[in-house]
Structure 1
């Protein structure tokens, strides 16, 4: 599991053996089964998760009880309820496995320690955060300005394997449409 993390970090910020050994000491390995939760709404959020293998979904339930899929997290991605993680508040979202999943868990205390002790990791984490912010803004703009068909086609183009791994009902929730609409536009 740690080799995947090393490759992920080195793609942006190469670390020495000593730096990487220290970084590794700050993570906890965890495996969860399909349908298990890493975070449930209302929980304290102890970790940010680096996904080694498997697939997760981050969901939000609105005041009317409607479920919204905020994101899917797959291999080489980081996922959490980041607002709750960084502010140490209660989760507003839930993080659940769609497949059996292996993650590396990083507590906020260890996140901060890592940034202090290995300045290259601060650079790495800023780069990853920037990519996440950009992706979030693109998703919001897409939801505001494009049709479901356009969102479907863009998602299919960018992540074709996702369509083999995620049930259509969940893809529909992510795209902001009904399953019937998704079936109609994907035919």
Structure 2
């Protein structure tokens, strides 16, 4: 069976088995239990995470202790506090497990080494970054221009499995609506 990371990379660029073994040697597999943190606000962020199995959320808690969810990440997705990771500063986000989760951890040193050694991987990460910028822009524009119903329908269309895996209170937080509003939207 094809390794999930190899399959993920090969959707952007082909790699040989030998190249993949070299790439994989730069990752560290880790398992986390539900409610454990991959990244915790105020701490260093030594790794980027590729989700092999499970589900996590990246969130920010404001001064009023209101949680704002930036991202959910499930199988085949990457997640991190990228500002902290790339700038080597302490995290402003929390990334915690909503399910038992298995990830592949990639340090910034190993990422830079892989990019220097293999043009294919540098290309892969550049394309992944581009996709991430586009997704972030679309999310911001959706929050600015779409009403709650449109945001709900868009999320349901793009990621229907989230609604079976994520508590409704967290879906509501991600959409920027109350739990009651989400209940009304899902009843329509």
Which string of whole-angstrom CA distances, capped at 9 and with x for unpartnered residues, describes residues 93-127 of structure 1?
Answer: 00000011110000000000000111100000001
Does the C-alpha gap of structure 1 residues 50 and 2 become closer, same or farther in structure 2, counting only changes over 3 Å? farther
2:153 aligned counterpart, secondary structure: helix
1:115 aligned counterpart, secondary structure: helix
Q: 1:186 Cα deviation (Å)?
A: 0.9
In the other structure, the counterpart of 1:35 is 35
In the other structure, the counterpart of 1:23 is 23
Matched residues in 2 for 1:139 and 1:2: separation? 32
Alignment of 1:30-179 (within 5 A): 30-179=30-179
Runs of 4+ residues deviating >4 angstroms: none
Which string of whole-angstrom CA distances, capped at 9 and with x for unpartnered residues, describes residues 45-94 of structure 1?
Answer: 01000001110000001122211000000111100000100000000000
Q: Identify unmatched segments of 5+ residues in structure 1.
A: none
Matched residues in 2 for 1:163 and 1:117: separation? 40
- With 165-174 and 60-69 compared, the bigger mean Cα shift is at 60-69
1:14 aligned counterpart, secondary structure: coil
What is the RMSD computed on CA atoms of the aligned residues?
1.1
Matched residues in 2 for 1:119 and 1:157: separation? 35
**TM-score of the superposed pair, with normalisation by structure 2:** 0.97
Matched residues in 2 for 1:6 and 1:149: separation? 37
Q: 1:149 Cα deviation (Å)?
A: 0.7
Does the C-alpha gap of structure 1 residues 97 and 2 become closer, same or farther in structure 2, counting only changes over 3 Å? farther
**TM-score of the superposed pair, with normalisation by structure 1:** 0.98
Matched residues in 2 for 1:100 and 1:59: separation? 18
1:125 aligned counterpart, secondary structure: helix
How many equivalent pairs are there?
A: 187
